[in-house]
Amino acid sequence: MSNSSAHALTIVYQEQPLNAGTPLPILRRSFVTPQTLFFARNHGSIPTIDPATYRLHVTGMVRSPLELSLEELQSRFPSRIIMATLQCTGSRRNELMALHTIPNEIPWGAEPISNANWRGVALRDVLQAAGIAHEARYVSFSGLDEVWEEGKAVGFGSSIALEKAQVPEVLLAFEMNGEPLTPMHGFPVRVIIPGYIGARSVKWLGTITLQDEPSHNYFQARAYKLFPPNVTQTPTDTSQGRMLETLPLNAVICIPQDRQMLEAGPVRILGYAFTGEGSPIQRVEVSADKGTTWTIATITERNDPWAWCFWETTLDLPPGPYQLFARAWDATGHTQPADARQLWNFKGYANNAWHRIRLHLA
């Protein structure tokens, strides 16, 4: 397998640009996702970057602009390791597509999510070395990949508020699970913003710009925005949409799979749960009677606050057709909405309704 192609076990939605995820039963095997099985979400081709000539530029509203080689970035600043789960905000879009048409979007199931140990340097250390001007309010990131939208070369970029950029867990990462990033996952340097939608964690990072307003890049200003269900197509003025940042609370059943045929009796149910809000998941519940009664699952593995948790339970079920539902609760008492219809949006983002699968027990 090359560093820019999908693993044989993955579900490939698009070859070019490469967009692929790992089937839920395989994803659920390992709390830390191997780099080869980590989901791939791309908007353009994967660039080939020579580490010897790579330079990271820090510019904009700074007192001392920086130009850092990979070696300088790694040696000049202290490194740290953060375990963090990344998730595409289009996760579970296929359920929203079943309600109403969502054209020109990838029909992701619940598989564009993965968890890794990231090694890098804190973004705030690099910003402090450049000297933050008092008028700066946002930190903008630009990748080195070539991306075209609407017939124009737009590149891929994002931005976050300066306040978020200065928390210690936001990294400029160059290693994943103890190995250098592969080209598919952002080599030589990518941003990691724990808890935020994956689109904000720009790969192949070329430029960091401090500025007084959010990025005007297509993917920050137009694409990754949330609109209410009554808006059915991209409006002329996208400024009214809500910029997507933190990922919502979600619990997903990984085993068994939807429409599986099983023997009646004890059914072992395994899944993951995740929230980008930073408040730990308190419990996960499963129902086999459309939410009338709930069984509390056992959380078997966790690494708070920026990683998913794994959970499991066993239900004793007689023969017949079933719908199983899963939902999570966080430590602040928040849970998931029951019905995806109230969440539908024309881009299919941020679906965190109760996850459900159909089973037939014989």
Q: What is the pLDDT of residues 194-233, one digit of tens each?
A: 999 999 999 999 999 999 999 999 999 999 999 999 998 8
Task: Please give the Cα distance from 326 to 307 (Å, whole number).
Answer: 19
DSSP run (H or E) holding 126: helix 123-130
Identity (one letter) of the amino acid at 37? L
Complete edge-to-edge strand list for the sheet that includes strand 260-262: 260-262, 355-361, 320-330, 281-287, 295-296
Grouping H, G, I as helix, E, B as strand and the rest as coil, residue 97 is: helix
Q: What is the dihedral of CA 86, 13, 1, 141, to 10 degrees?
A: -40
| Per-residue model confidence (pLDDT) at position 8 | 80
Q: What's the pLDDT at 260?
A: 95
At residue 7 the predicted structure's pLDDT band, cuts being 50, 70 and 90, is confident
> Does residue 2 surpass a pLDDT of 60?
no
The per-residue pLDDT for 5 is 65
Q: Strands 260-262, 355-361: parallel, antiparallel or unpaired by DSSP?
A: parallel
Q: CA nearest 336: which of 353, 350, 322?
A: 353
**pTM of the complete model:** 0.95
CA distance 28 to 275: 17
Mean pLDDT over 227-250 rounds to 91
Provide the residue type at 95 as one letter: E
What's the rounded mean pLDDT across residues 282-308? 97
Question: For residue 235, what pLDDT band results from cuts at 50, 70 and 90?
Answer: confident
Provide the sign of the torsion angle of the four alpha carbons 250, 91, 202, 239, taken in this order: negative
What is the average per-residue pLDDT within 6-25?
Answer: 92
pLDDT in tens, 340-359: 999 999 999 999 999 999 99
Q: Please provide the average confidence, as pLDDT, over all residues in the chain.
A: 95
Name beta bridge partners: 242.
226
Residue pair 171/124 in contact (Cβ under 8 Å)? The answer is no
Taken as a whole, the chain contains a residue count of 362
Burial class of residue 103, CB neighbours in 10 A (0-12, 13-18, 19+)? exposed
Q: Assign 3 a pLDDT band (cuts: 50, 70, 90).
A: low
Q: What is the pLDDT of residues 247-262, one digit of tens each?
A: 999 999 999 999 999 9
pLDDT tens column, 101-112: 999 999 999 999
What is the Cα–Cα distance from 347 to 193, expressed in whole angstroms?
Answer: 22
